[in-house]
Structure 1
Amino acid sequence: MDGTTLEAMRTALRGPVIGPRDRDYPEACTIYNAMIHRRPDAVVRCSDAADVMAAVDFIRDHGLELAVRGGGHSGAGLCVQDDAVTIDLTPIRWVRVDPKAKTARVGGGTLLGDVDHAAHPFGLGIPSGIVSTTGVGGLALGGGHGHLTRKFGLTVDSLVGADVVLADGSFVTASASEHPDLFWALRGGGGNFGVVTSFNFQLRPVHTVGVGVTLWPVDQARQVLEWYREFLPGAPEDLNGFFALLTVPPAPPFPEDIHGHKMCGVVWCWTGDLAAVETALAPPDGPGAPTFHFAAPMPYPALQSMFDELMPAGLQWYWRGAFFDRITDEAIGVHLKYGENLPTDLSTMHLYPVNGAAARIGKDDTAWAYRDALWSGVIAGIDPDPDNAEAIKQWSVDYWEELHPHSMGGAYVNFMGTGEGQDRVRATYRDHYDRLAGVKRTYDPDNLFHANQNVAPAEAS
């Protein structure tokens, strides 16, 4: 982009347009994953929906490349691209709760913690991710799962409407009654169809939950997973528990004698009667006595932010994902092998349950194509040191390649890394891909929004 075009963009837009020579440029290009180093031509911090409309028009009419940033948590760094313009929704960060209707309108640049904070005084919340600094937009458009999935479904299962700026610069509201094809695609189809400037969520009753953490030595991972794969799918839906391989961090509530130890475990969330917390979160004895067990009532926003300090912005990340409808003996062997060889203290693997309420939504009701999955897995190589970037990436890729034959083929779109290819996108959307491509042709026929796990527009018949 030449200087004349940059100045013209500044004139056309209300929010700041940050170029490579501006003092704020390095910060504007920085996202959660420090492994990503890209230089966009400009970062446009849009002040409102009208600014987004003007930005889309300008970018399209000048033949520029476009990317969209909500919370900046994209593991693949899709929100910043070399020689492109990032539409940064950071200023559109707000939440308006209607406690009577039990709904929340949420700006496109809002973080999960903002929603938790605004809804909590009313005893309400939405099912979402497990790190409160995650952007609502990217998480929700990909589907969204976390501590409340078994009880209340995916994040998109609570979405009742969205305001969207389309590729032609127009503004529409998508819901079950307005642009229902677009509304269907937004619920799991990623950022392929436009810029969502606000979401409307149906809130769920949640205030104080039971929180538990149970750990065993990593060499007991086989016994733990053999127990977990049988126990969790049939457990009450008030009980959510994701399995993890980890190195114990040197922080409370963990005792010093296990700091730095490689372990496996389950992080629990109980949404049932708090009087039953001790029973619901009692130490499981199926896989043998745990090395560590903690359980206590906790405000839901506290659970949502529990991992924030452990996983701050600025770390090196590389991740790969997969869906599973079973945990095979062979898969357990792979988990044990790579769990015993975690490359860094923060590297991990999680298996998030996506059954229960999420599985009762019709297979074709949303773009999310894996209602028959039991777990959404992520392998994450993480470390603060850039010198370890290649090592954590290689560990993640090797782990995924050995595990992939025991998966369902696709992955949660937000857990897909860079360079996985179009076949992986198709595998993720299964037989929904062609329908998504048709919606794409209707709303973005020239594929303006392609800085994503892209669904190309269907060819005209």
Structure 2
Amino acid sequence: MNEPTNTTIARTDLRQLRRVFRGRLLGPGDPGYDEGRRVWNGSIDRRPGLIAYCTDNADVIEALRFATGRGAEVAVRSGGHSFPGQSLSEGGVVIDLSGMKRLRVDPDTRTARVQAGVLLGELDTATQVFGLAVPAGIVTHTGLAGLTLGGGIGWLMRKYGLTIDQLTAVEMVTAGGEVVRADASENSELFWAVRGGGGNFGIVTEFEFRLNPVGPMVLAGPIVWRMADSARLLRFYRDWISASPDDLTTAVVHRRAPAVDFVPAELHGAPVVMVVACWAGAIDEGERFLAPLRRFGRPVLDLCAPQPFTRFQAMFDPSFPHGRWYYFKSRDVDVLTDEVIDLTADHATRFTSALTAFPIFQRGGALARVGEDDTAFSGRLSGHTFNINATCATEEGFAQERAWARGFWSDLAPHESGAYVNFLMEEGAERVRAAYGPAKYDRLAAIKRSVDPDNVFHLNQNIPPAPAG
């Protein structure tokens, strides 16, 4: 296998590329380069040798050939939300898909064809015109491509499953520069792999999705208690969700109350715990089911109300803006046991940043009814996903907050039932293998060998190609 190198891009080489590349090319020193190398996670600071803003598949192929022909490391970026910054290469070539935003919705067949540069909010806006949606994420400026390839958890997953469970086909550029289609009948092994295997197998430039009826009004939003109520609330919540219908997806979030308009000023900065609910069925049925939660203890704020799905999807955007310093750790657990609840309530008192928050996503429902071996995504039967987010405005205090996240994650280890690859950071090869399990990992490695034997696409939660023979 030829290891890629980080190279200096020669001006003569760039002149050759510009003759065949229709998009914009940015290198160090060019106007806009410093802005172009920024990604969502402000703690990532890398200087690519070249950023190639692609307009179509032909540009993707030319940028890929340019990089591999010079032994340059390849990074692929759509929304730039990769937690560990894998959409940037130090000194290599960034193949940027952010300008590829064609989006076609067919309300009659309830399908959508979506290019890789589309963001979640853009997809929601286009589909909700027809009362349709793809289950996808919780922050609207997330890129659809990376979220989908890792699985795609979000507010509709218990009703309709993961984002990949709506995926019917992809168009992609392989490491060899070939445009291929993958679906259930054509390149079916590759189609299996991209549904949860991340960006290991090529550059997906277009997705085809099945759409689902949603809203446009949903019963959604947070109900908030003081942090001191955390353990008691989590025990109630554990019992309450045991009867959850598929229409309901929830997350428990511990944080300091944000200083935003819809939160009363007296709560700004106060340690709180909230249950964020999204009921995607009949509103009156949702009100009846949520009533016991509203009555539990003494909530200090109740913002769970009928609202447009698009508004709810954007509710948490202010908590995760571009440029903050983010560090994430994650584990799945089957059950919120008393021990898990007690250590969660304890660690919730230890973070210091006013920007840190950690959601615990409720799983189950439609997500769990897809066969474990039907897609590369693993851990469908896990009950909850902990997404432990350490967040600071700048580098100040970041090391301390990161140490808190790592400590919490370590204490959860005895209770782990799996891991979501989109929430991994820099854990390394063994953690990636564990996230898929031995059988799936070996199958993925074999597919990788067939489509990317030189591991060109390794800036991801990497699955190296299986050895030949």
- What is aligned with 1:421? 428
- What is aligned with 1:47? 55
Instruction: Tell me the amino acid that sits aligned with residue 456 of structure 1.
Output: P
Structure 1's unaligned 5+ residue stretches are: none
Provide the C-alpha distance between the structure 2 equivalents of 1:277 and 1:435, rounded to a whole number of angstroms.
42
Out of 107, 126, 134, which is 1:99 matched to?
107
- What is aligned with 1:378? 387
> 147-156 vs 330-339, which deviates more?
330-339
Instruction: Tell me the amino acid that sits aligned with residue 431 of structure 2.
Output: R
Out of 164, 167, 171, which is 2:175 matched to?
167
- What is aligned with 2:3? none
Matched, 1:280 2:289: yes
Q: Tell me by how many angstroms 1:333 deviates.
A: 2.1
Q: Tell me by how many angstroms 1:399 deviates.
A: 1.4
Matched, 1:300 2:309: yes
> 3-12 vs 336-345, which deviates more?
3-12
Count of aligned pairs: 459
1:190-246 CA distances to partner (integer Å, 9 max, x unpaired)?
000000000001011012111131112212211111122222243111111111111
- What is aligned with 2:360? 351
Please give the secondary structure, in 2, of the residue aligned with 1:427: helix
Aligned 1:68-147 pairs, distance under 5 A: 68-147=76-155
Please identify runs of 4+ aligned residues in structure 1 that moved more than 3 A: none
> 283-292 vs 307-316, which deviates more?
283-292
Out of 28, 45, 56, which is 1:37 matched to?
45
- What is aligned with 2:206? 198
Q: Tell me by how many angstroms 1:93 deviates.
A: 1.3
Q: Tell me by how many angstroms 1:9 deviates.
A: 2.7
- What is aligned with 1:452? 460
Distance 1:287 1:403, change over 3 A: farther
Provide the C-alpha distance between the structure 2 equivalents of 1:391 and 1:45, rounded to a whole number of angstroms.
37
Q: Tell me by how many angstroms 1:140 deviates.
A: 0.2
Out of 258, 276, 285, which is 1:249 matched to?
258
Provide the C-alpha distance between the structure 1 equivalents of 2:349 and 2:192, rounded to a whole number of angstroms.
42
Out of 300, 309, 330, which is 2:339 matched to?
330
Q: Tell me by how many angstroms 1:8 deviates.
A: 2.8
Matched, 1:229 2:238: yes
- What is aligned with 2:324? 315
- What is aligned with 1:366? 375
- Maintained 8 Å contact 1:47/1:89: yes
1:261-304 CA distances to partner (integer Å, 9 max, x unpaired)?
11111100011112334323325168523222222111111111
Provide the C-alpha distance between the structure 2 equivalents of 1:297 and 1:390, rounded to a whole number of angstroms.
40
- What is aligned with 2:31? 23
Instruction: Tell me the amino acid that sits aligned with residue 161 of structure 2.
Output: G
- What is aligned with 1:264? 273
- Maintained 8 Å contact 1:149/1:358: yes
> 256-265 vs 166-175, which deviates more?
256-265
- What is aligned with 1:150? 158
Q: Tell me by how many angstroms 1:59 deviates.
A: 1.4
Q: Tell me by how many angstroms 1:11 deviates.
A: 2.9
- What is aligned with 2:397? 388
- Maintained 8 Å contact 1:162/1:200: yes
Out of 346, 351, 371, which is 1:342 matched to?
351
Please give the secondary structure, in 2, of the residue aligned with 1:340: coil
Provide the C-alpha distance between the structure 1 equivalents of 2:210 and 2:23, rounded to a whole number of angstroms.
30
Provide the C-alpha distance between the structure 2 equivalents of 1:263 and 1:213, rounded to a whole number of angstroms.
11
- What is aligned with 1:176? 184
Provide the C-alpha distance between the structure 1 equivalents of 2:430 and 2:338, rounded to a whole number of angstroms.
27
Please give the secondary structure, in 2, of the residue aligned with 1:35: coil
Please give the secondary structure, in 1, of the residue aligned with 2:60: helix
- Maintained 8 Å contact 1:354/1:376: yes
Q: Output the TM-score relative to the length of structure 1.
A: 0.97
Q: Tell me by how many angstroms 1:50 deviates.
A: 1.3
- Maintained 8 Å contact 2:357/2:388: yes
- Maintained 8 Å contact 2:221/2:312: no
Please give the secondary structure, in 2, of the residue aligned with 1:224: helix
Distance 1:215 1:445, change over 3 A: same
Instruction: Tell me the amino acid that sits aligned with residue 424 of structure 1.
Output: R
- What is aligned with 2:11? 3
1:423-445 CA distances to partner (integer Å, 9 max, x unpaired)?
11011111310010011011111
- Maintained 8 Å contact 2:223/2:294: no
Provide the C-alpha distance between the structure 1 equivalents of 2:295 and 2:379, rounded to a whole number of angstroms.
29
Instruction: Tell me the amino acid that sits aligned with residue 298 of structure 1.
Output: Q
Provide the C-alpha distance between the structure 2 equivalents of 1:83 and 1:62, rounded to a whole number of angstroms.
12
Please give the secondary structure, in 2, of the residue aligned with 1:137: helix
- Maintained 8 Å contact 1:108/1:136: yes
- What is aligned with 1:432? 440
Provide the C-alpha distance between the structure 1 equivalents of 2:401 and 2:51, rounded to a whole number of angstroms.
29
Q: Tell me by how many angstroms 1:335 deviates.
A: 1.1
Distance 1:114 1:406, change over 3 A: same
Provide the identity percentage: 41
Instruction: Tell me the amino acid that sits aligned with residue 343 of structure 2.
Output: V
Please give the secondary structure, in 2, of the residue aligned with 1:284: helix
Structure 2's unaligned 5+ residue stretches are: 1-7
Q: Output the TM-score relative to the length of structure 2.
A: 0.95
Provide the C-alpha distance between the structure 2 equivalents of 1:52 and 1:369, rounded to a whole number of angstroms.
30
Provide the C-alpha distance between the structure 2 equivalents of 1:111 and 1:99, rounded to a whole number of angstroms.
20
Aligned 1:203-218 pairs, distance under 5 A: 203-206=211-214, 207-218=216-227
Instruction: Tell me the amino acid that sits aligned with residue 211 of structure 2.
Output: L
1:15-55 CA distances to partner (integer Å, 9 max, x unpaired)?
11110110111011000000000011111001101111121
1:143-190 CA distances to partner (integer Å, 9 max, x unpaired)?
001110100000000000100000000000110011000000000000
Provide the C-alpha distance between the structure 2 equivalents of 1:232 and 1:70, rounded to a whole number of angstroms.
35
Q: Tell me by how many angstroms 1:322 deviates.
A: 1.0
1:296-327 CA distances to partner (integer Å, 9 max, x unpaired)?
11111111111112321111100011111112
> 195-204 vs 337-346, which deviates more?
337-346
- Maintained 8 Å contact 1:325/1:374: yes
